[in-house]
Chains A and B, each alone.
Chain A
Amino acid sequence: MNVDARARASAQAIDRSATRVNPFAGLDDLLRRRRRQPLQRAAAVAVALLVMVVAVWAGGVRLGPTPVQPTPGPVTRIAVGPMPVSVAVTPGTAWVLDGSTPIITRIDARTGRLQSTFSASFAQQLDGYLVFAMAAEGRLWVVHWQDLRGAAMSVIDPSTGQKLMTFVFGGHVLQALNKPGDITVGSGAVWVALQADDQVKRFDAATGKLLDQIPLPEPTALAVDGKTLWVATADGRLRSIDTGTGAATVRATTEMVTRIRVGQGGVWLMTYDGKVLRLDPRTGQIVARVPGTFQAADLAVGTEGVWAYDQHQGTVLRIDPSTNQVDRIIPVISQPLVELDSRVLALGDGAVWVVDKGSEALVRVNPNG
């Protein structure tokens, strides 16, 4: 089949999928929305304040049993809200970002008990959009919108919750659509792939100073492993860059890669269409394509193993690095939200963590349960 025929068939599939779209219902909705917008704004502010007050009260005063809805098996659900978008885990603590208010919730990773919430005052611009969090080098790194010109990342001391520093990227990164790019932290540096700007920037992790700008066409994903930076570009090329000399080598060519993770004896790649590949870092060869019908939306590698999140099935999958096969599938979300770019999976404190956006919950999965 040629690309034109596939395009026409796929357009017809969209036509068929929309037979239940009812413009009359939509018109009613539209007119209601038009009337209630001023009220909605006021109500949203009031609800956000109320949620903050209740959350602080629940975490700070009511030190009761774990506020979870336990389900049989290895999965524990922890109610958070109102719109969790990302989770990162430092020793003993899970940090959940809220996407509608600049609120970060701190949860005891072992008990699931909410410890505190705080407003990320560094992210007050643009309604305080928090985008994504990760844990690295003993710190919490929170990506947020700086202004309409781009994103920034603030570094938080997990022991105090205090902001230590802010990096301003000078470009868009981690957009849900278009050109999401990527961020990684390691070896004393912060690396930012600005896909729309055709470059990778390197910042000093201690001072926030911009150290280097590497021109690359549409970098989509990156990861650092010691003195090697792995960078994927939209044309499917995977390069290794010596962080000392800056020498770049094309190591493999494959589908477009949107995640690179290093660990468990390999470099793991997630492609734009949800496949997981394994690359041998010494030879640069793709040594395995993990078989299965899953469509991974996020990928994490750590001491807990190699894990992928399938947002279509609402499951997490464990990949056995000795066989490169999925050896465990655990349902975690009954009504998963399907997104183009999903950063909802984290490993840490002996568990796998997934944000359930639709149900406003954090899901803790015991990998050995």
Chain B
Amino acid sequence: MPAARPARHTAPAAGNGEPPAVRLPGSFEDFYLQEYPRVVKLAYALSGSRSGAEDIAQEAFLRAYRDWQRVGSYEHQAAWVRRVAANLATSGLRRRLLEARALARLAARRQPALDPLPAENADFWRAVRALPHRQAQAVALYYLGDLSIQQTAQVLDCAEGTVRAHLVKARRTLARRLHLDTWEEEP
């Protein structure tokens, strides 16, 4: 699933009829240090792999780094990298590539930085991963990333109504599969 191009942040128009200037990229390092833990957690939730989650996050940041001149000028850089990570974590073929790296980490005896989840929480995320993947991404972004509906829609590059629909369907399915009470209130 190719990541769609997010909107660019632009400076206010100069008023002279010229197109607005494109924002200059900021520091990749600052961006990385701020966002990396969040993206690792998102990848962990959506992949279920303690060792693979950091590889997924790094792959997403590596893509941003390679094209930082362009990505760095986006208004929503964090949304871009989260979308890439979410797509990597829910794409079977691409995830296999990253699993190969995770295996190499295991072979090198590097312990994953993520701790195992308690059984009840692991069950929840396992059920999330069994959802249709756009629903799974919406749940992970909304709850884990603590994003608003609007921000989740930005990451998923879809309408806010679509995110609401994904969340409602996902909650119903999760409630049924995990024997929980439903929660129908609109977010």
Interface of A toward B, CB cutoff 8 Å: 1-11, 13-24, 26-27, 29-30, 33-34, 83, 99-100, 126, 129, 145, 148, 172, 174-180, 234, 236, 255-256, 272-273, 335, 337-340, 357-358, 360
Contact = CB atoms under 8 A, between A and B. Distances in A.
A272 B144 CA distance: 22
Contacts of B118: 13
Contacts of A19: 115
Given A2-B180, A33-B62, A340 B48 contact: yes
A358 B146 CA distance: 34
Interface stretch (B17-25, B125-133, B153-161): B125-133
A175 B180 contact: no
B117 A4 contact: no
A16 B92 contact: no
A3 B129 contact: no
A248 to B, nearest CB: 22
Which of B33, B37, B96, B175 is most buried by chain A, counting CB atoms within 10 A of its CB? B96
Interface stretch (B6-14, B38-46, B71-79): B38-46
Contacts of A21: 36-37, 40-41, 54, 113-114
B37 A23 contact: yes
Contacts of B99: 176, 339
17 contacts: A2-B175, A3-B180, A6-B174, A7-B174, A10-B125, A11-B146, A20-B114, A20-B115, A23-B37, A26-B36, A27-B32, A27-B33, A30-B62, A34-B65, A172-B92, A176-B92, A177-B92
A178 B91 contact: yes
A328 B40 CA distance: 38
Interface string B115-155: 11110110111110110110000010001101000000000
Contacts of A180: 92
Nearest to A9: B121
Contacts of A11: 45, 143-144, 146
Given A18-B44, A256-B130, A335 B106 contact: yes
Contacts of A83: 100, 103
A154 B41 CA distance: 38
Nearest to A23: B36
Interface in B32-73: 32-33, 36-37, 40-41, 44-51, 54, 57-58, 61-62, 65-66
A333 B33 CA distance: 36
Given A8-B143, A14-B121, A21-B36, A2 B113 contact: no
Interface of B: 29, 32-33, 36-37, 40-41, 44-51, 54, 57-58, 61-62, 65-66, 89-93, 95-96, 99-100, 103, 106-107, 113-118, 120-121, 123-127, 129-130, 132-133, 139, 143-144, 146, 171, 174-175, 177-178, 180-183, 185
A24 B180 contact: no
Given A7-B143, A9-B121, A26 B180 contact: no
Contact of A26 (B46, B58, B114, B181): B58
A15 B41 CA distance: 7
A335 B29 CA distance: 34
A338 B93 contact: no
Nearest to A274: B126
A177 B41 contact: no
Nearest to B92: A175
Contacts of A1: 180-181
Which of B41, B106, B177 is most buried by chain A, counting CB atoms within 10 A of its CB? B177
A340 B129 contact: yes
A177 B95 contact: yes
Nearest to B126: A273
A176 B130 contact: no
B92 to A, nearest CB: 3
Contact of B93 (A14, A126, A357): A126
Nearest to A148: B93
A175 B93 contact: yes
A269 B177 CA distance: 16
A338 B50 contact: yes
A272 B180 contact: no
B93 A129 contact: yes
Given A4-B183, A177-B133, A272 B47 contact: no
Nearest to A129: B96
B130 A10 contact: no
A83 B100 CA distance: 8
A337 B182 contact: no
A83 B107 CA distance: 11
A296 to B, nearest CB: 13
A14 B175 contact: no
A202 B132 CA distance: 24
Contacts of A339: 48-49, 99
Nearest to A7: B143
A7 B124 contact: yes
